[in-house]
Amino acid sequence: PPAKAMLRRRHKAPRPVAPREGAQGLARSRRRARPGTQVPPELLVTPEALGRARKPAQEVPRGKAPAAREKAPPALGKRPARGAASVVLVTGFEPFGGDARNPSWEACQRLPNEIAGLRVERVRIPCEFGRAIDAVTEAIERHRPALVVCLGLATGRTHLSVERVAINVDDARIADNAGAQPVDEPVVAGGPPAYFATLPVKAMVAAMRAAGVPAEASNSAGTYVCNHLMYGVLHFLAAGGHKARAGFIHVPASEEMVLDKRGVPSMALATMVRGIEAAIAAARSTLRDVKLAGGTLD
């Protein structure tokens, strides 16, 4: 009989112990806290955190993938994501149309390495339909910028022109550097008729003027590679749900370009750089554009 009793005790299953509930309904540890022990705040488990951890995952019907959330296009006034707020991507074009230089790229090169807390990344863009967009979108994927500011040359203009809108039309008066000359063709087949810049155009113009630089808001980026690039970049950002804000600035001819040309307006490269730097700083700090008269009569 004693041996049987011992056998029964040996195979006896342990009694389940129910967890004791604390004041917040959480299971309390049986270990005693030592007096004076300091617990780092990041190790504390709050009732809210535990509640989130216990929340059951949403069931997905068999054979169906969870629906992807639609990402809205970036809008003016939407603060950039914390991890993507350290870079401004600035682009400039290579020379085209028989010119030996392009001040959009020369000004880009002269910008400081940091503006308003943003690291400046530069990309030289081929003056070619199609390839221009690819060069910028690849740089966007690589750097994940908060702002994208594309620069281009508009010979004949007297001011730095911050473009308001890009249209879905390629209509080239001259061939690009690869010999392509599209006429009345869409930038993106089936794309929207136009995109507005998501940078604060008027605030950037005001900042340029405050820095002593002639500047204006422009309502036409043309129909050449500059408009092509502006439209393509804005379409890429909107379609992909990227949070970067983007726009385009046209620069006049530089003084070096018009030394042997009469009657062609020009601007010193140093003045361009000062204006572009002021514009980027304004775009960084301004989430909603200012209301400032800037329309044209023609």
Q: Average pLDDT for consecutive 10-residue bins of the chain (298 residues)?
A: 48 49 43 50 47 42 38 42 72 96 98 98 97 98 97 97 98 98 98 98 98 97 98 97 96 96 96 98 95 79
Catalytic residue, from 106, 143, 150, 163: name it: 163
Tell me, yes or no, if 127 is annotated catalytic: no
Length of the chain: 298
Confidence (pLDDT) at 290:
92
CA dist list (Å): 54 to 20, 48, 49, 50, 51: 18, 10, 9, 6, 5
CA dihedral 232→177→98→269, nearest 10 degrees, is: 40
Confidence (pLDDT) at 268:
98
Residues 6 or more apart whose CB falls under 8 angstroms from that of 103 comprise 153, 251, 252, 253, 254, 257, 267, 269, 272
Looking at residue 26, the DSSP 8-state letter turns out to be P
Catalytic residue, from 108, 150, 250, 277: name it: 250
Q: Which amino acid is at 279?
A: A
3-state secondary structure at position 144: coil
Confidence (pLDDT) at 183:
98
Q: Which residues share a beta bridge with 248?
A: 150
Confidence (pLDDT) at 298:
63
User: Would you say 255 and 155 are in contact if contact means Cβ atoms under 8 Å apart?
Assistant: no
Confidence (pLDDT) at 6:
45
Query: pTM for the complete prediction?
Result: 0.72
Tell me, yes or no, if 226 is annotated catalytic: yes
CA distance 76 to 116: 18
Strand-strand pairing, 253-254 and 266-267:
parallel
Strand ranges in the chain using DSSP code E only, listed in sequence order: 87-93, 114-115, 118-125, 147-153, 160-163, 165-167, 194-196, 215-218, 245-251, 253-254, 266-267
Catalytic residue, from 143, 226, 242, 277: name it: 226
Tell me, yes or no, if 250 is annotated catalytic: yes
Looking at residue 67, the DSSP 8-state letter turns out to be P
Residue tagged 């794309």 (tokens): 191
Confidence (pLDDT) at 231:
98
And the tokens for 126?
Answer: 């081929």
Confidence (pLDDT) at 294:
81
For residue range 193-218, what is the model confidence (pLDDT) as tens digits? 999 999 999 999 999 999 999 999 99
CA distance 280 to 200: 10
CA distance 200 to 286: 7
CA triplet 197, 202, 206: central angle to 5 degrees? 140
Confidence (pLDDT) at 48:
53
Confidence (pLDDT) at 18:
47
Confidence (pLDDT) at 292:
86
Q: Which amino acid is at 197?
A: A
CA distance 162 to 214: 11
CA distance 140 to 212: 31
Looking at residue 64, the DSSP 8-state letter turns out to be -
Confidence (pLDDT) at 29:
43
